[in-house]
Structure 1
Amino acid sequence: MRKALLTALLWLNLTAPLLAAPIKIGYSAWPGWFPWKVAEEKGLFKKNNVDVQMVWFEGYADSISALVAAKLDANCQTLNDTISPAAAGAKLKIVLTNDNSAGNDQIIVKKDISSIKDLKGKKLGAELGTVDHYLLLLGLEKAGLSAKDIQFTPIETGAAAAAFAAGRLDGVGVFAPFTTKALSTGKGKVLFSSKDFPGAISDHLVFREEFVKTHPDEVQKIVKTWFDTLDYIQKNPKEAVEIMARRAGTSIEDYKSYDSGTRIFSLAENLATFAPETKVPTNLHYQSKIIASFLVKSGLAKTRPDLNALFDARFIKAQSRTAALP
Structure 2
Amino acid sequence: MRRAAPAVDNRPCEVNLMRKLRLFAVAALLCVLSLSAATPSFAAGRKDFKVCWTIYAGWMPWGYAKTQGIVSKWAKKYGITVDVVQLNDYIESINQYTAGKFDGCAMTNMDALTIPATGGVDTTALIVSDYSNGNDGVLIKGNGKKLTDLKGQSINLVELSVSHYLLARGLETVGMSERDIKVVNTSDADISAAFATPSVHNAVTWNPMLAQLKAQPNVTEVFDSSRIPGEIMDMMAVNTKTLQDNPALGKALTGAWFEMMQLMHSDSADSRAALTSMAKASGTDLAGYKAQLSTTALFYTPQQALDFATSPNLPKIMTRVAQFSFDHGLLGQGAADAGAVGMAFDKGVVIGSKGNVKLRFDPAYVRMAAEGKL
Same fold per TM (> 0.5)? yes
Q: Does 1:252 align with 2:286?
A: yes
Is the alpha carbon distance of 1:248 and 1:187 closer, same or farther for their aligned partners in structure 2, counting shifts above 3 Å? farther
Check conservation: 1:95, 1:205, Cα contact below 8 A.
Answer: yes
Is the alpha carbon distance of 1:70 and 1:133 closer, same or farther for their aligned partners in structure 2, counting shifts above 3 Å? farther
Is the alpha carbon distance of 1:199 and 1:241 closer, same or farther for their aligned partners in structure 2, counting shifts above 3 Å? same
Q: Does 1:306 align with 2:342?
A: yes
Partner SS, residue 291 of structure 1 = helix
Which of 94, 102, 106 is 2:133 aligned to? Answer: 102
Aligned residue identity for 1:274: A
Number of residue-to-residue matches in the alignment: 304
Cα drift, residue 311 of structure 1: 1.5
Partner SS, residue 77 of structure 1 = strand
Partner SS, residue 32 of structure 1 = helix
Check conservation: 2:58, 2:293, Cα contact below 8 A.
Answer: no
Structure 2 gaps, min length 5: 1-40, 345-356
Structure 1 gaps, min length 5: 1-12
Aligned residue identity for 1:311: F
Check conservation: 2:71, 2:256, Cα contact below 8 A.
Answer: yes
Is the alpha carbon distance of 1:152 and 1:242 closer, same or farther for their aligned partners in structure 2, counting shifts above 3 Å? same
Aligned residue identity for 1:306: G
Is the alpha carbon distance of 1:47 and 1:15 closer, same or farther for their aligned partners in structure 2, counting shifts above 3 Å? closer
Aligned residue identity for 1:316: V
Which of 209, 224, 249 is 2:255 aligned to? Answer: 224
Q: Which residue of 2 aligns with 1:151?
A: 182
Higher mean C-alpha deviation, range 97-106 or range 312-321 = 312-321
Partner SS, residue 148 of structure 2 = helix
Which of 234, 256, 278 is 2:265 aligned to? Answer: 234
Cα drift, residue 84 of structure 1: 2.1
**TM-score, scaled relative to structure 2:** 0.73
Q: Which residue of 2 aligns with 1:6?
A: none
Check conservation: 2:137, 2:205, Cα contact below 8 A.
Answer: yes
Cα drift, residue 300 of structure 1: 4.1
Q: Which residue of 2 aligns with 1:28?
A: 55
Tell me the percent identity.
24
Is the alpha carbon distance of 1:14 and 1:179 closer, same or farther for their aligned partners in structure 2, counting shifts above 3 Å? closer
Higher helix share goes to which structure?
1
Cα drift, residue 204 of structure 1: 1.0
Is the alpha carbon distance of 1:245 and 1:158 closer, same or farther for their aligned partners in structure 2, counting shifts above 3 Å? farther
Cα drift, residue 307 of structure 1: 1.1
Q: Does 1:170 align with 2:201?
A: yes
Q: Distance in 1 between matches of 2:287 and 2:220?
A: 20
Q: Which residue of 1 aligns with 2:369?
A: 319
Check conservation: 2:171, 2:178, Cα contact below 8 A.
Answer: yes
Cα drift, residue 298 of structure 1: 4.7
Is the alpha carbon distance of 1:157 and 1:215 closer, same or farther for their aligned partners in structure 2, counting shifts above 3 Å? farther
Which of 26, 40, 51 is 2:66 aligned to? Answer: 40
Aligned residue identity for 1:33: W
Higher mean C-alpha deviation, range 203-212 or range 185-194 = 185-194
Q: Which residue of 2 aligns with 1:212?
A: 243
Check conservation: 2:42, 2:242, Cα contact below 8 A.
Answer: no
Q: Distance in 2 between matches of 1:293 and 1:202?
A: 16
Q: Does 1:197 align with 2:231?
A: no
